[in-house]
Structure 1
Amino acid sequence: MMKLWMAPLGLHIEPAEPIDAETLAELHARGFYRGWPREEFAAYIAAPDTPIYVACDAKRRIAGFAMLRLVADAAELITIAVDPKWRKKGVGLALMRALFEDLRMTPARQLFLEVAADNPAALKLYAKLGFAKVSERQGYYARADGLPATALVMARVLG
Structure 2
Amino acid sequence: MLSAQVEILPLGHGDVDEMLAVEKGVYAFPWTRGNFVDSIVAGYSVWGCRVAGDLVGYFVVMLALDEAHLLNLSVTEKRQGMGFGALLLRHAMQSARRAGAVVLLLEVRRSNTRALALYEHFGFQQIGVRRDYYAAALGREDALVLQHVLEEVSG
Shared fold (TM-score, shorter chain, > 0.5): yes
1:131 alignment partner in structure 2: 124
Shift of 1:69: 0.7
Shift of 1:38: 2.2
Contact 1:78 1:113 in 2 (8 A): yes
Task: Give aligned-pair identity as a percent.
Answer: 28
CA offsets, 1:39-89, max 9 Å, x none? Answer: 4312322332x1111010232x10001110111110000011110010000
Q: Which runs of 5+ in 2 are unaligned?
A: none
Q: Could you tell me which amino acid in structure 2 is paired with residue 92 of structure 1? A: G
Q: Distance in 2 between matches of 1:105 and 1:73?
A: 11
Contact 1:136 1:151 in 2 (8 A): yes
Shift of 1:33: 2.4
**RMSD over aligned Cα atoms:** 1.6
2:88 is equivalent to residue 70 of structure 1:
no
Shift of 1:103: 1.6
More strand by share: 2
2:22 is equivalent to residue 30 of structure 1:
no
Q: Could you tell me which amino acid in structure 1 is paired with residue 86 of structure 2? A: L
Contact 1:133 1:154 in 2 (8 A): yes
2:85 is equivalent to residue 99 of structure 1:
no
Count of residues paired in the alignment: 150
Contact 1:33 1:142 in 2 (8 A): no
TM-score (norm 2): 0.89
1:58 alignment partner in structure 2: 52
Q: Distance in 2 between matches of 1:107 and 1:134?
A: 21
Q: Distance in 1 between matches of 2:143 and 2:31?
A: 18
SS in 1 for 2:111: coil
Contact 2:50 2:56 in 1 (8 A): yes
Structure 2 residue aligned with 1:12, among 1, 4, 7?
7
SS in 1 for 2:147: strand
Q: Could you tell me which amino acid in structure 2 is paired with residue 38 of structure 1? A: R
In the TM superposition, structure 1's runs of 4+ consecutive aligned residues that sit over 3 Å from their partners are none
Q: Which moved more, 1:124-133 or 1:9-18?
A: 9-18
Q: Distance in 2 between matches of 1:153 and 1:39?
A: 24
Q: 1:140 to 1:43 in 2, by over 3 A?
A: closer
1:84 alignment partner in structure 2: 77
Shift of 1:111: 0.3
TM-score (norm 1): 0.87
